[in-house]
């Protein structure tokens, strides 16, 4: 999927989608102009899978006045990811889940604001086709909707004025599943089952749309809360802090849990874990709760969970105060995936690294680099992954006294002899290559940058970056680094981050490296 279109075509498509102000009449069956109809496609759009209708005034046949929110956020590499026309401020989910049948029932409440310049007559949410939508309301009034593939197209009873409040409620149910390959060659993500019969949601860039309707792009961050009802004996953990007051009555033989995160995050950072896990609680020195969930018989998890506090202390000494009001980890044990992901406040650890604190350092570092400062587009992923990977270097320098220059020179010796190591750039890489070179070439480039800038300036960059930015691009990082260094780092950044070959000799050994 990564080579659907070439890059100029994708950019042009994103522009078309972002500026679409179509006036085609709404038709209920089969001929609603799919957002994909503007693609240079050789196959017809598939038939809609679900069509819903509100009362007559909002039904088919009403003149289509106003603008359509685009079916993509405008990301050149993932043109269908996210949507346009609105900005979400909060997701509030009220769901029930039965692990035995994998059946999920939910009502999602979205609080948003209309961002289109003209009145918004139609907008999209991302929701995988494994979910069946039964009703949608917009600002309290039933709305028409059409669910086609992973796009839920909603048509409110009347166009929504620019900058007006948009409150959407979606009732749906289904059997959530893994989204294979994501989009554009991205990794799998979505809803995973555990060996112990439970389930958890994780994935990057696609996961949230597997279990709730969402503007699935990190460019739209929102607060998140979930109230989950399960059969007695099962437990639920999610992002943020547990809420224990004013919970609904779950009914006989059932338990209810509510989790809430009040700081806005990208949707791939939301998660839920339902299982018969054990909860381990500690606190940071400032009182911030550290709450971890350890799946049944998961070896090594308790030891790793206990390292979270020390890891946060060390990383905060470089990156500034820990940016969330909760911390912890989720250790679901075996499942069909091996994923470690920096889900907000509570990373998920299922990968093959359960023996090493390095993975905790990496995922906790993301709470600053990726979660507090969020990507504007996926091809800027280095501002997440390069830094989280380099955080592991800093940890070992801090805790074990590792000589990082020696480590860098060792790795450079093998990298110099390997042209393939440099083939994938750290910025604007081809779609589907976001999660490759950033993990090994990334820290090498950042250690070179540290030597180029000098320790004082580089550590200023590390500390000030999370405090300065909310959404950011790599260009923002480059400009910020140049500002902190007091000189133009452009040629250096081009060679080390954007190039596809070994950096030229005059830029290869900055500072004391290679002496």
**Residues binding Zn ion (CB under 5 A):** 385, 388
Of 173, 146, 144, which Cα lies nearest the Cα of 48? 146
Provide the minimum distance between the beta carbon of 388 and Zn ion in the complex, in angstroms, as a whole number. Answer: 4
Among residues 169 and 385, whose Cβ is nearest to Zn ion? 385
Sign of CA dihedral 334, 336, 338, 343: negative
Provide the minimum distance between the beta carbon of 195 and Zn ion in the complex, in angstroms, as a whole number. Answer: 24
Among residues 385 and 434, whose Cβ is nearest to Zn ion? 385
Among residues 17 and 361, whose Cβ is nearest to Zn ion? 361
For 317, 373, 390, 461, the CA distances from 447, given in Å and listed in that order, are: 18, 21, 8, 13
Percentage helix, strand, coil for the chain under 3-state DSSP, each rounded to 5: 30, 30, 45
Among residues 391 and 481, whose Cβ is nearest to Zn ion? 391
Per the document, the length of the chain is 515
Q: What is the DSSP letter of 221?
A: -
Provide the minimum distance between the beta carbon of 347 and Zn ion in the complex, in angstroms, as a whole number. Answer: 9
Task: Name the residue with tokens 């000799």.
Answer: 505
Among residues 144 and 308, whose Cβ is nearest to Zn ion? 308
Provide the minimum distance between the beta carbon of 473 and Zn ion in the complex, in angstroms, as a whole number. Answer: 18
Of 269, 242, 268, which Cα lies nearest the Cα of 257? 242
Provide the minimum distance between the beta carbon of 167 and Zn ion in the complex, in angstroms, as a whole number. Answer: 34
For 173, 446, 470, 514, the CA distances from 419, given in Å and listed in that order, are: 50, 19, 35, 19
Of 75, 77, 84, 61, which Cα lies nearest the Cα of 153? 84
Phi-psi domain of 362 (left: phi exceeds 0; alpha: psi -120 through 50; beta: other) = alpha
State residue 439 phi and psi, 5-degree precision.
Answer: -80, -30
Among residues 275 and 385, whose Cβ is nearest to Zn ion? 385
Give residue number: closest CB to Zn ion: 388
Among residues 159 and 182, whose Cβ is nearest to Zn ion? 182
Provide the minimum distance between the beta carbon of 11 and Zn ion in the complex, in angstroms, as a whole number. Answer: 27
Among residues 159 and 347, whose Cβ is nearest to Zn ion? 347
Among residues 34 and 221, whose Cβ is nearest to Zn ion? 221
| Rounded-to-integer distance, Cα 42 and Cα 45, Å | 9
- For residue 155, give the 3-state DSSP assignment: strand
| Rounded-to-integer distance, Cα 451 and Cα 470, Å | 27
Provide the minimum distance between the beta carbon of 13 and Zn ion in the complex, in angstroms, as a whole number. Answer: 29
Provide the minimum distance between the beta carbon of 452 and Zn ion in the complex, in angstroms, as a whole number. Answer: 24
Provide the minimum distance between the beta carbon of 366 and Zn ion in the complex, in angstroms, as a whole number. Answer: 6
Of 207, 201, 258, 204, which Cα lies nearest the Cα of 228? 258
């Amino acid at each position: 999927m990564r080579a659907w279109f070439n890059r100029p075509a994708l950019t042009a498509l994103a522009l078309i989608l972002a500026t679409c102000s179509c006036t085609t009449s709404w038709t209920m069956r089969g001929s609603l102009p799919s957002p994909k109809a503007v693609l240079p496609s050789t196959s017809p759009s598939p038939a809609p899978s679900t069509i819903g209708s509100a009362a007559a005034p909002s039904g088919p046949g009403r003149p289509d006045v106003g603008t359509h929110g685009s079916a993509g956020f405008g990301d050149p590499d993932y043109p269908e990811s996210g949507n346009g026309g609105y900005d979400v401020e909060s997701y509030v989910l009220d769901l029930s889940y039965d692990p035995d049948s994998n059946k999920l029932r939910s009502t999602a409440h979205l609080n948003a604001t209309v961002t289109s310049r003209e009145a918004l007559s139609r907008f999209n949410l991302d929701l995988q086709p494994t979910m069946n939508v039964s009703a949608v309301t917009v600002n309290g009034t039933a709305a028409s909707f059409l669910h086609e593939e992973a796009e839920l197209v909603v048509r409110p009873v009347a166009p929504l004025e620019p900058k007006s409040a948009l409150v959407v409620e979606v009732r749906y149910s289904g059997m959530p599943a893994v989204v294979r390959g994501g989009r554009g060659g991205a990794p799998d993500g979505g809803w995973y089952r555990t060996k112990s019969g439970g389930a958890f949601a994780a994935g990057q860039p696609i996961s949230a749309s597997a279990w709730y309707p969402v503007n699935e792009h990190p460019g739209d961050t929102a607060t998140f809360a979930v109230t989950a009802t399960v059969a007695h004996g099962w437990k639920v953990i999610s992002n943020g802090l547990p809420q224990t007051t004013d919970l609904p009555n779950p009914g006989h033989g059932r338990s209810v849990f509510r989790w809430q995160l009040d700081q806005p995050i990208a949707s791939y950072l939301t998660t839920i874990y339902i299982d018969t896990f054990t909860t381990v609680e500690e606190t940071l020195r400032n009182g911030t709760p550290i709450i971890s969930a350890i799946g049944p018989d998961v070896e090594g998890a308790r030891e790793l969970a206990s390292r979270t506090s020390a890891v946060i202390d060390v990383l905060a000494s470089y990156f500034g105060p820990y940016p969330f009001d909760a911390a912890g980890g989720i250790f679901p044990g075996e499942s069909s995936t091996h994923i470690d992901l920096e889900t907000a406040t509570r990373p998920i650890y299922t990968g093959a690294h359960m023996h090493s604190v390095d993975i905790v350092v990496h995922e906790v570092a993301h709470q600053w680099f990726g979660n507090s400062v969020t990507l504007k587009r996926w091809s800027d992923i280095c501002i997440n992954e390069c830094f989280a990977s380099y955080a592991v270097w800093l940890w070992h320098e801090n805790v074990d006294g590792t000589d990082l220059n020696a480590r860098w020179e060792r790795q450079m010796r093998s990298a110099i002899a390997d042209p393939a190591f440099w083939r994938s750039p750290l910025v604007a890489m081809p779609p589907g290559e976001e999660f490759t070179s950033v993990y090994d070439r990334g820290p090498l480039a950042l250690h070179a940058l540290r030597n180029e800038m000098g320790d004082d300036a580089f550590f200023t960059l590390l500390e000030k970056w999370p405090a300065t930015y909310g959404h950011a691009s790599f260009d923002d990082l480059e400009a910020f680094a140049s500002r902190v260094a007091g000189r133009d780092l452009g040629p250096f950044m081009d060679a080390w981050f954007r190039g596809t070959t070994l950096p030229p000799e005059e830029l290869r050994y900055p500072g004391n490296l290679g002496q």
